[in-house]
Structure 1
Amino acid sequence: MTIQQFIDGRLVPSASDDTLAVHNPATETVMDQVPRGAPEDVNRAVTAAHRALASWRALTTVERGRYLLAIADELERRGEEIVRLTSRNNGKPLAEARIDLGDAVATYRYYGEHAEALLDARQNADVAVAMPGYASRLRLEPVGVAALIVPWNFPLVTTAWKLAPALLAGCTAVLKPSEVTPLPEMVMAEVAETVDLPAGVLNIVNGTGEHVGAPLTIHPDVAKVSFTGSNPVGAQVMRAAAADARNISLELGGKSPIVVFEDADPDQAVEWIMAGIFFNAGQICSATSRLLVHESVAEAVLPRLKAAAEALALGDPLDEATEMGPLTTRAQYDKALTYFRQAVSENLVCLTGGTASNRAHGYFVAPTVYTHVPTDSRLWREEIFAPVLCTRTFASEDEAVALANDCAYGLAATVVSADTERAHRVADRLEAGHVWLNGPQVILPETSWGGHKASGIGRELGPWGLHAFLEVKHVSYPR
């Protein structure tokens, strides 16, 4: 059965008869068919969103927040069903899929529970002005119809990060899921119907970037484009939006460092290194794929890291014992193998991995660690989006910071040190949008998500995620 489009509150056939196969990456079997999509689908969805905009923005912030809380409740109610669907379509282990569901639920709850504090408390606030006899007040108003373009590596999560603040702001939305992982995303159509979300407030258009994404970014009734994905596609979105000076947010790539100082506990450091690069099989924009380890502790850390990587349980994502699943797509699998060949051509030292898995089916690759990687290596500088870690040693704090910041990206970083004062000092010097100290990559909905340099434009989550969907207006008048 072919997945349909969700437009104006109901499931409808796509204007295109062409379809693409949706695969289970662990078995390479076809799970379903997704429409290629067409500009006509986009136009119908944007028209519905535009028609629903006036009545949706007329609701109070608290009323819109109640819908978000209802969405959170419904996702939670259907939890295990969604978890298993995510594991089958994306390839991530059940434990990771449960974390994803929890992150999505927490995002809807955050914006729903804090609706008044995030928006109403600032609405019509007086602005202090120096000119005698004048006053001004602040208005925060929805930007309009929002196009939300999300990737395949975190279905439901990146959608929540965009959709929850967009709806709270008073925007209506057209969501374009990845054609690779549409199945978890289409649950949102059923959720919208269950919570009686007004028709047209959320529309979901399935299809390719060419046939859906591109027309969506240039539609004249789309006021805001929020995109998460690769830098090359992000550049295309930015060029398209530039023609009409369209409001845009971009969450792009990363090549994040994890810095381990000499006073770190080697076993604890390895645990955080592993989580930073092998979660979701390395298919995470904030993956700490560059390990900088102090030269005095490297001999203790690296053998432990090798043993831990080789002990990772690869297998069926639906098996509770599985710790790492396959890469999500054939293209990503082929890309990883290309980098393995590049490593051989560069004569890199492979501590472990560097090969495809020996499993008969599925897009599995071995957890991989390279040591003493030169800073001009392609593997050191380019985002691989696979379970591939490159390591180097350093001798001083200044050297570690310089190596960490010598990168085109600036999304995230981790610092591991028993000296908390030093950890905070180093964090303040790192060029990254989010830095974790002595811990895993915990995503807190109250904090921002986004990066410096080539990692994107704008922020998601927290009040900053809400601001991305608001326009600022000041009303000034004589007293």
Structure 2
Amino acid sequence: MPSANGNGTAVEPLSIKLALPNGVTYNQPTGLFINNEFVKSSTEEKITVIDPATEKEIAAVYAASPADIDTAVAAARKAFKPWKKLPAAKRGDYLLKLTELIDRDRELFAAIDAWDNGKTYEEALTIDMEEAYHVFKYYSGFADKIFGKTIETHPQKLTYCLQEPLGVCAQIIPWNYPFMMLAWKVAPAIACGNTVVIKSSELTPLSVLYFGKLIQQAGIPAGVINIVSGLGGVAGAAMAGHMDVDKVAFTGSTATGKKIMAAASNNLKSITLECGGKSPSLVFKDCDLEQTVKWTYLGAIGNQGEVCSATTRIYVEDDFYDTFMEAFVAYTKEMDKVGLPFEEGNVQGAQVSEGQFNKVMAYIEKGNAEGAKLYYGGERRGTSGYFISPTVFGDITEDMTIVKEEIFGPVVVIGRFSDVDDAVEKANNTVYGLAAAVFTENITRAHQIAADLEAGVVWINESNDCHFGIPFGGVKQTGFGREMGPYAMDMYTHTKAVQVNLGANL
């Protein structure tokens, strides 16, 4: 099945040979990966994958139906008991083997994600793949370090607790960090002894499917990791409502998260939700201006602004506002290098799809209509591809749509605060609660504000600085549960209490 742009030719069953924009050729799987084999979907329906930078077709992959989800879940269920009973150190060895294969292919994975997501190759390589590699490496060492505990209750009784895997985990990942989000979910789940069915976004399925080849090469037992491409309303809904699924982990919009939660209630599945955000940065006049400008720009507009924890609401101390705004706009002009993902020197690529492009442009129009001052950007770049300039709005009010709603694009809004109480009140004035940032040289004030911010993650004098050992997740309508670090292990295990009578009489 050649792709529409003519660079794909069939090379093996359910795989096509593709030529990446950087000239590298590789064999891209197109089937569902179930029970360690690539297979057609039961309906043979397909999803077309579009290059956001050129608007041309890359390939078409099979789309899972509810019947295919049944098959994948059955494979995961069959694999669960032997995988659970495998010595923990052996599970760690499998994870370590996957880590080595990811390291081997990291440049290929980065190129695939840059191609079908639209982000720059440099960002995909140095951020996404570096993170994914370390996540698998981290949890390979965690597999045999899941400890229970004993509880003293009586001299003639023994009580101990076991941390046990949940079972079959349905995992639904977004399009903004395709392979990195796979790592965040798959690695801790299988380290704990669970089996998984993971669904990529229909916009960015390619690197996730390619990972199936690494699963085969690592010798992971059949059914432990199953990969499906498919539409959220079809395959995702079937996963969330499946009666033989024990856990759902979802990253995506709050609206979809609510649907996932409702569907998962049919058998009271365990749920982890990481949904929307509209995160604030608070900038005080005693900050390091140069560093603050760089961090706030990265926090808001990095990865084309397609980041759930993006700190896109910046509030600046009143009498520092003009100074900060001048410096921020100047830095935005310096960083305005928007273009093809594989073109050296570009720092911002394309929005992921036409739909997302149109959504962001509509928000920009809304900001102008509601009276926000456009300090920079606000236009489409080029005549093809979904490119938008970095965009800076100032002089905002709290009732503006661009202040209240998540845009998920390269748009930042900047307002003022009068004192600490005003800053915290404006920061918390959102239905979301994923992240926040504080910029000040007064470390006492920084810690006090951090305690008052309604967020799952708070950065001080930095923004969007994630690490595989640090818990990530939010509060309010961002969702609940934590990924990363040892906290993720709690999301993929349950606690069993065992009470033993050693001779105490009734």
With normalisation by structure 1, the TM-score equals 0.97
Are the aligned partners of 2:296 and 2:462 in contact in 1 as well (CA < 8 Å)?
Answer: no
Q: Secondary structure at the match of 1:318?
A: coil
1:344-403 deviations in Å (ceiling 9; x for gaps): 22121111112222x021111111111111101111010010111111111211111111
Q: 2:107 aligns with which of 41, 56, 80?
A: 80
Query: Is the contact between residue 63 and residue 228 of structure 2 (CA under 8 Å) also seen in structure 1?
Result: no
* Match of residue 38 from structure 1: 65
Equivalent residue of 1:291, what SS? strand
Query: Which deviates the most, 188-197 or 12-21?
Result: 12-21
Deviations 1:69-106 (A, max 9, x none): 11111111111111111111111112210110011111
Q: Distance in 1 between matches of 2:142 and 2:98?
A: 15
Question: Structure with the greater relative contact order (CA < 8 A, sep ≥ 6): 1 or 2?
Answer: 1
Q: What is the Cα deviation at residue 153 of structure 1?
A: 0.5
- Tell me, in whole angstroms, the C-alpha distance in 2 between the residues paired with 1:68 and 1:222: 23
What is the alpha-carbon distance in structure 2 between the residues aligned to residue 260 and residue 219 of structure 1? 46
Q: 1:105 aligns with which of 120, 129, 133?
A: 133
Q: How does 1:80-479 map to 2 (within 5 A)?
A: 80-98=107-125, 99-117=127-145, 119=146, 122-123=147-148, 125-129=149-153, 131=154, 133-311=156-334, 312-357=336-381, 359-479=382-502
**2:312 aligned partner, one-letter code:** S
The residue aligned with 1:54 is 81
How many residue pairs align between the two structures? 473
Following superposition, the deviation at residue 337 of structure 1 comes to 1.3
| Distance of 1:394 and 1:194 partners within structure 2 | 55
How many angstroms does 1:307 deviate by? Answer: 1.8
Question: What letter corresponds to residue 72 of structure 2 in structure 1?
Answer: A
Task: Decide which moves more: 173-182 or 106-115.
Answer: 106-115
Q: Secondary structure at the match of 1:140?
A: strand
Provide the secondary structure at the position in 2 that maps to 1:279.
helix
Per-residue deviation, 1:266: 1.8
C-alpha distance after superposition, 1:49-83 (max 9, x if no partner): 11111110011211111111111111111111111
Report if aligned partners of 2:293, 2:327 keep a CA contact under 8 Å in 1: yes
CA contact (8 A) 1:374 1:380 kept: yes
Aligned residue identity for 2:396: V
CA distance in 2, matches of 1:201, 1:152: 23
Question: Alignment partner of 1:148: what SS?
Answer: strand
- CA offset digits 1:180-200 (Å, max 9, x no partner): 000111121011011111111
Contact residue 34 and residue 179 of structure 1 kept, 8 A? no
Task: Determine which of 47, 56, 63 is the counterpart of 1:20.
Answer: 47
Give the corresponding residue for 1:5.
Answer: 32
Q: Distance in 2 between matches of 1:180 and 1:104?
A: 20
Distance in 2 separating the partners of 1:314 and 1:460: 31
Contact 2:311-2:463 within 8 A present in 1 as well: no
- Tell me by how many angstroms 1:132 deviates: 5.8
- What is the deviation of 1:166? 0.5
Q: CA deviation at 1:220?
A: 1.7
Equivalent residue letter for 2:315: L
Moved more, 197-206 or 212-221: 212-221
Q: Aligned with 1:424: secondary structure?
A: helix
Query: What is the identity percentage for the equivalent residue pairs of Structure 1 and Structure 2?
Result: 36
Q: TM-score w.r.t. structure 2 length? A: 0.91
